[in-house]
Amino acid sequence: MELCSQQSSREFNNGIAAIVNNKVITAETVLRELPMEVSRVYSSLPISEREKYKQLALRGLIRKELMLNEYREKNYNLPDSIFEQRIKETIQREGHTRSSLIKNLRSQGQTFDEYAKEYREQMIHSIMRSEFISTKGIVISPRKIEEYYIANKNQYRQDREIKLRMIVLENAKHGGAESTRILADEIHAKLADAESFTQMAQIHSDRNNSSGGLRAQWDKKGGSLHPSLEKAAFTLGQGQVSSVVQISNGCFIMRCEEIRQTKLKSLSEVRDEIEDNLIEQTRKERADKWFKKLEAKAHIQTFSF
């Protein structure tokens, strides 16, 4: 591989990001390759973040060009009729006719020939990935799964979880924040035991009153609880009741019904997950090795942009 990084005003002004053999990859093409969620916020990202995403997109485009070169060099020449049939099927599946597609493409500044060329290249990329960097033939042994589990046990520990009952009093239903707080304090003063909490929740709570305020899910840190509620809830021991917690929309009183301590998931519980992770890890290693081989026989230049 002949790889060189250069920076000059001429290259930047020309908008060239890379040249792979004789194929020019423009800066504009790289930016179009960014994931949609990144494109939306790209201009507001720190320079280091923008550079990271640009380089990832550029690497992907270089790899696509390397696959096209390999396809041509190995003479993996599928008949044009196959590509044409696939394009025809896609047009029909998307509810177009050829003429309506051409009209739609024209409105986007693209010709049918350009569309067909892109579609053909996408098919070639899929063919080459399937042939050389898929998960085909990858087998993970039980011993390797067990070794991974032992070395990465902390990944498979369940967080401490709590089961809560809540009495929820919403400001909008009780005449505003001040009167809601007064009612909450009155209710809190009457709580003596688990039975009284359940009864008070059934009578007064604006949520889950039919279940005596019992939340359906187990709660853990970083979950769906408001930060102020979470802080109060995770200081409770089993059977303990919180003080009144007041946030912007109302007042909350919580009782910790049950605590599930941190525990290690068994190997049988996570075996499939580990196997999938190891298969994907092996696939990536296979891909990196193959692309390095392709890079070694290509002429690649990259430029600052």
Range in 33-47, 204-218, 263-277 with the lowest mean pLDDT? 33-47
Q: Which domain holds residue 65?
A: 2-135+282-303
Number of domains, the chain:
2
Query: CA torsion sign, 35 to 39 to 45 to 46?
Result: positive
Question: CATH no. for residue 229?
Answer: 3.10.50.40
- Region label for 193, one of left (φ > 0), alpha (ψ between -120 and 50) or beta (otherwise): beta
Give the rounded percent of residues in the chain with a pLDDT score beyond 90.
62
Residue 148 lies in a domain: no
CA 95 to chain centre: 30
More confident residue, 231 or 8: 231
The three-class DSSP label of residue 187 is helix
User: How confident is the model over 137-180, as pLDDT tens digits?
Assistant: 899 999 999 999 999 887 888 788 999 999 999 999 999 999 99
Rounded to whole angstroms, the Cα distance separating 237 from 228 reads 17
Residue 7 and residue 93 share a domain: yes
Residue 276 lies in a domain: no
Q: What tokens appear for 151 in the block?
A: 């070395």
User: How confident is the model over 173-200, as pLDDT tens digits?
Assistant: 999 999 999 999 999 998 877 788 999 9
CB 167 within 8 A of CB 178: no
Rounded to whole angstroms, the Cα distance separating 188 from 241 reads 9
Give the rounded percent of residues in the chain with a pLDDT score beyond 70.
95
Query: CA torsion sign, 91 to 84 to 106 to 118?
Result: positive
CA-derived radius of gyration, the chain:
30
Rounded to whole angstroms, the Cα distance separating 135 from 280 reads 7
Q: How confident is the model at residue 8 (pLDDT cuts 50, 70, 90)?
A: very low
More confident residue, 11 or 208: 208
> What does pLDDT average to over the chain?
89
Q: At what angle do helices 112-132 and 267-296 cross, to 10 degrees?
A: 120
Rounded to whole angstroms, the Cα distance separating 69 from 296 reads 13
Q: What tokens appear for 238 in the block?
A: 């089993």
DSSP E strands, the chain: 2-6, 16-20, 23-26, 157-158, 161-170, 219-220, 245-247, 250-260, 263-264, 299-303
Residue 22 and residue 108 share a domain: yes
Rounded to whole angstroms, the Cα distance separating 255 from 171 reads 21
More confident residue, 194 or 247: 247
Residue 169 and residue 254 share a domain: yes
Q: How confident is the model at residue 10 (pLDDT cuts 50, 70, 90)?
A: very low
Residue 111 and residue 48 share a domain: yes
Average pLDDT over residues 241-257: 94
Residue 178 lies in a domain: yes
Residue 147 lies in a domain: no
Q: How confident is the model at residue 14 (pLDDT cuts 50, 70, 90)?
A: low
- In this prediction the pTM is 0.58
Residue 293 and residue 203 share a domain: no
Number of other CB atoms surrounding residue 164 within 10 Å: 22
Range in 59-68, 176-185, 259-268 with the lowest mean pLDDT? 259-268
At 44 the pLDDT is 87
Residue 290 and residue 217 share a domain: no
Average pLDDT over residues 49-73: 93
Report which of 206, 210, 199 is spatially closest to residue 255, judged by C-alpha positions. Answer: 199
Cβ burial of 194 (10 Å; 0-12, 13-18, 19+) is middle
Range in 6-10, 42-46, 260-264 with the lowest mean pLDDT? 6-10
Q: How confident is the model at residue 21 (pLDDT cuts 50, 70, 90)?
A: very high
Question: CATH no. for residue 97?
Answer: 1.10.4030.10
Residue 299 lies in a domain: yes
